[in-house]
Structure 1
């Protein structure tokens, strides 16, 4: 019996369907058709360990799945293919990121929409590389909801981590990114300077309020119009600790999933160029009442409803 994808069964007719009734667990990438949502779990937090954060994010994908299972299905043609979890063997993060990239590229080349549930924010480099592999000639835009820039240069004896993803992406070519929710007290001047040097645009957490949405929309639209493909990555530590306590590095002054945020988030999700989304840094080991997992599940479900 599938113990992850279970929920309330109101009936078998389409009008009664919940997500768990429309999930198909798969191993064959040839089964993907255009506009299928395709899920991988990135059950990895080796990058968090290397970055000296609180480990536990590797346990998140299945818990997020459980919290997704009971959401109602909105569109009659909705389909979610679940390809299971990718794990990190022998602490070999680089090999694991490459495996994710390989699988994501297969999804996108089949016309599927890539959803990845982390895991640590080291998922970003693997997910991005998968998009780049599938579309090497396309200009890729990244919208990163995060309190941190994650643009540290890897340390020689440690290697890549959850904090190096955007520096790694910048080494692959021009970076086209907008980082939303950045905290001044979570990034050193060096990290701000690196962001400027690499051309990483950003919106501070303090700028995310309802009256300022027209300005924020303008900056989001500017990025979206300048690229061929959009990729959204969400680090759950961007949110206030009261609604997302279960993260590697909690933020007492993080943003809220309030009306202003949801208007912005849905605006981004409605963009036809959006091909990939991931959610990172849920740590069930330190979560309270599944608050962070539930929020992560809700954010994934929003993509299914636009």
Structure 2
């Protein structure tokens, strides 16, 4: 088996943050994140960063997401924990010299190794090209080799099904569909929050041809809560293993200004957080990636805090469910 650290370019650094004193009543994230993979428990959540701007550059977007992992860790570090959680940080895979394809391959190696060790994985992006690297890890892991049915849920204003000559932040889910087709499978791909003005008719036709299930952003508000819940319930019933991909541009620009393409409309934070908690509580989540945080475009760390809160909710919801089982 490939060791966790084989494909990592940047070794993890100790997490630091606010400290209110010793004891379980004062726990924050930086207290519970370890750096030694060998001493981590099999159910500990594992963080890996994907420092990449290459996909955004190829997609002609605003670059800066390569610094997203650092900002997400900083925003998460001082968040208070409701109960004991154990976590592992294995460091970052970095895309250098424009070689996105090699970065995907190495990220996949790290993720597959972590999943096979029993870790739920959270990938800190990076542009949304990170999603294909996450898929590669899942595809090589025991979770799918043992026959589990894959379900991919993308919280995003975009389908990211572009048929471009080179992979980019706009192509990861078409790449997944093509990879699944080579495996004799049809990609089970669902999207919540699609923005019609942000997707061409060609992309809608591609989604329909691939059998993609989706809900537009205009139907994801609080008045559409019943439909959103039903959509997520149907998705979870369709699969055994979940890949959750969160593009922070699914949120309104006021909540997530620090992305390549801020949303003029967006899906409210309370809906996105509810969906994340519901998926985490299903106990089917194997890997989650958080994409498109660009700290250089952020205002008051709003986007970093939004992304960190979603990660926090996912991990704590999954932990609570596991303890209740």
Normalised by the length of structure 1, the TM-score is 0.94
Q: Residue deviations 1:44-101, cap 9 Å, x none?
A: 110000000000000110111011001112222x111001111012110000001000
Write the mapping of 1:200-239 to structure 2, written as runs, cut at 5 A.
200-239=212-251
CA deviation after TM superposition for structure 1 residue 3, in Å: 7.2
Q: Residue deviations 1:13-48, cap 9 Å, x none?
A: 12211110111123x4x4443211000011111000
Gaps of 5+ in 1: none
- How many angstroms apart in 2 are the aligned matches of 1:193 and 1:236? 24
CA deviation after TM superposition for structure 1 residue 282, in Å: 0.5
For residue 172 of structure 2, what is the aligned residue in structure 1?
165
Write the mapping of 1:85-164 to structure 2, written as runs, cut at 5 A.
85-134=92-141, 135-136=144-145, 137-155=147-165, 159-164=166-171
CA deviation after TM superposition for structure 1 residue 129, in Å: 1.1
- How many angstroms apart in 1 are the aligned matches of 2:206 and 2:87? 38
1:73 and 2:81 correspond: yes
1:300 and 2:311 correspond: yes
For residue 320 of structure 2, what is the aligned residue in structure 1?
none
Q: Answer yes or no: is the 8 Å Cα contact 2:280–2:315 preserved in 1.
A: no
- How many angstroms apart in 1 are the aligned matches of 2:139 and 2:133? 10
- How many angstroms apart in 1 are the aligned matches of 2:63 and 2:14? 22
- How many angstroms apart in 1 are the aligned matches of 2:111 and 2:167? 20
- How many angstroms apart in 2 are the aligned matches of 1:224 and 1:165? 21
Higher mean alpha-carbon deviation, 191-200 vs 204-213, is at 204-213
For residue 245 of structure 1, what is the aligned residue in structure 2?
257
Q: CA RMSD in A?
A: 1.5
1:5 and 2:15 correspond: yes
Q: Answer yes or no: is the 8 Å Cα contact 1:213–1:264 preserved in 2.
A: no
C-alpha distance 250-241 of structure 1, shift in aligned 2 (>3 A)? same
4+ residue runs over 4 A deviation: none
1:185 and 2:197 correspond: yes
Aligned length: 298
Normalised by the length of structure 2, the TM-score is 0.88
1:270 and 2:278 correspond: no
For residue 257 of structure 1, what is the aligned residue in structure 2?
269
